[in-house]
A and B are shown apart, each in its own frame.
Chain A
Amino acid sequence: MKLEEIKVCILRIEGTNCEQEAYDAFKALGADPEKVHLKQLIGRSPGELRRELDEYQVLMLPGGFSAGDYVRAGAIFAARMKSHLAADLENFIASGRPVLGICNGFQILVELGVLPSFDEIMSEAPQAALYTNVSGRFECRPSYLKHENHGKCVFTSLLPRGEIVAIPVAHAEGNLRFPSESEEEFLMRLEENDQVVFRYVDPNGDYAGYPWCPNGAIGNIAGICNPEGNVLGMMPHPERAMFRYQHPDWTRSGGKPDAPGDGHVIFRSVLDHVSKRF
Chain B
Amino acid sequence: MVTAEIRIELKHGVADPEGENTKKALELLGFKGIRSVKTVKVFEMDLDIPASEAASVCEEMSRKLLANPVIQTFRVQLK
A76 to B14, CA, bound (A): 22
Q: For the complex, is A165 an interface residue (Cβ under 8 Å from B)?
A: no
A76 to B68, CA, bound (A): 12
- CB-defined contacts of A75 to chain B, threshold 8 Å: 65, 68
Is the contact region of chain A dominated by helix, strand, or loop, or is it mixed? loop
- CB-defined contacts of A267 to chain B, threshold 8 Å: none
Q: For the complex, is A16 an interface residue (Cβ under 8 Å from B)?
A: no
Indicate the size class of the contact surface on chain A: 20 to 34
Q: For the complex, is A177 an interface residue (Cβ under 8 Å from B)?
A: yes
Name B64's contact: one of A79, A127, A132, A177 (CB within 8 Å): A79
Name A135's contact: one of B11, B17, B68, B69 (CB within 8 Å): B17
A235 to B17, CA, bound (A): 19
Interface flags, B55-79, vs A, CB<8A=1, else 0? 0000000011110111100000000
Q: For the complex, is A129 an interface residue (Cβ under 8 Å from B)?
A: yes
Q: For the complex, is A253 an interface residue (Cβ under 8 Å from B)?
A: no
Q: How far is the CB of A116 from chain B (nearest CB, A)?
A: 11
Interface flags, A58-84, vs B, CB<8A=1, else 0? 000000000000011001100100000
- CB-defined contacts of A177 to chain B, threshold 8 Å: 14, 70-71
- CB-defined contacts of B68 to chain A, threshold 8 Å: 72, 75, 111, 125-126, 129
Q: For the complex, is A133 an interface residue (Cβ under 8 Å from B)?
A: yes
- CB-defined contacts of A135 to chain B, threshold 8 Å: 17
- CB-defined contacts of B50 to chain A, threshold 8 Å: none
Name B11's contact: one of A111, A127, A133, A180 (CB within 8 Å): A180
Name A127's contact: one of B13, B20, B66, B70 (CB within 8 Å): B70
A136 to B19, CA, bound (A): 9
- CB-defined contacts of A129 to chain B, threshold 8 Å: 68, 70-71
Q: A125-B68, A128-B70, A178-B70 provided; 15 other pairs, C-beta below 8 A? A: A75-B65, A75-B68, A125-B63, A126-B68, A126-B70, A129-B68, A129-B70, A131-B14, A131-B71, A132-B17, A132-B18, A134-B17, A177-B70, A179-B70, A180-B14
Residues of A bordering B, CB below 8 Å? 71-72, 75-76, 79, 111, 125-129, 131-136, 177-180
